[in-house]
Amino acid sequence: MGLSLYLESQRAAEQRTFMLDFGYTPQALLNNAELLGVDPKRVEALIVSHGHYDHFGGLIGFLDKYRSEMRPDLTLYAGGEDNFCTRHQVLAVQGMPVQGEPSLSQWGTLDRRELGSRNVKTVLAESPTVIAGHAFTTGQIKRRTIETVTGGARVEYAMKEGFGCNASHFAPSEQLGKIVDVQHYHEHATCFNVKDRGLVVLSSCGHVGIVNSAKQAQEVSGVQKVHALVGGFHLGATADDQLKKVIEEIKALNPDVIVPMHCSGDNFARAVRETMPDKLIQPSTGARLTFGA
């Protein structure tokens, strides 16, 4: 479970290395990093896509092991304040419909105090942000297609002694301090413009829609050609009729490559295989993908 990507880019003799998301547990992240030969000293920036535990759960443990080896001015780029809100999962009773207010279980919080104590600076990239001259983030993603917000966790808009989030600048006042349905206001995508190929859009989870994410990348970069859609697309629980509409939207983008991971869903992979089989790549843990070589 969880997702973590080790990103390397090169422009002439200039190289950059980033980590995007950090998996569910430190044990999984550290184990995989060692098996893959990840060199923490090369990491120039950290990026978190959104505030779900399966994307940041391994971060603090990774820093505890490797922070002394990493660059002193290390920065974590987050999509916005929403990334630091406490999340809650709805506890379903097997075979029973939920009546009234559901039972909730806390699902973790990305804690800025823990990052600060490890000398990691946090940047809120609510607007598009260039990272180390190679990557860019989309900023807040506009909801402009038929896609709907997916993901059933709930979010608590509250700051308690520096823990949690101060969401007063984007949440309706009546929501502050309450636990409400998540809208993923500050989930962002990480992108590269690959020479002679076009945009590689890394959506991580894509709760606000993979097409919305790609269109946002096109808008902020001015580059229309989409070379690759990569990451989690969060379509596993999507009804067939809605999935067909999303597939049509993706076909209209005309990406060269579609690389579903994590939460994308077997139904999505099957639909791509049926409609765009020459574009589908299904990676496994530890897969290495090269674009533009």
pLDDT tens-digit map of 203-245: 999 999 999 999 999 999 999 999 999 999 999 999 999 999 9
**In the beta sheet, which residues pair with residue 14?**
11
The pLDDT value given to residue 173: 80
pLDDT of residue 12: 92
Give the Cα separation of 46 and 255 in Å (integer).
27
Query: Which residue, among 94, 223, 102, has the nearest Cα to 153 in the 3D structure?
Result: 102
Q: Above 80 in pLDDT, residue 171?
A: no
Which pTM was predicted? 0.95
Contact in structure between 46 and 59 (CB atoms under 8 Å): yes
Given pLDDT bands bounded at 50, 70 and 90, which one contains residue 150? confident
pLDDT of residue 96: 53
* Largest CA-CA distance found in the chain, in angstroms, rounded: 60
Is a pLDDT exceeding 90 seen at residue 202?
yes
Task: Give the pLDDT band of residue 99 (cuts 50, 70, 90).
Answer: low
Domains of the chain: 5-279 (3.60.15.10)
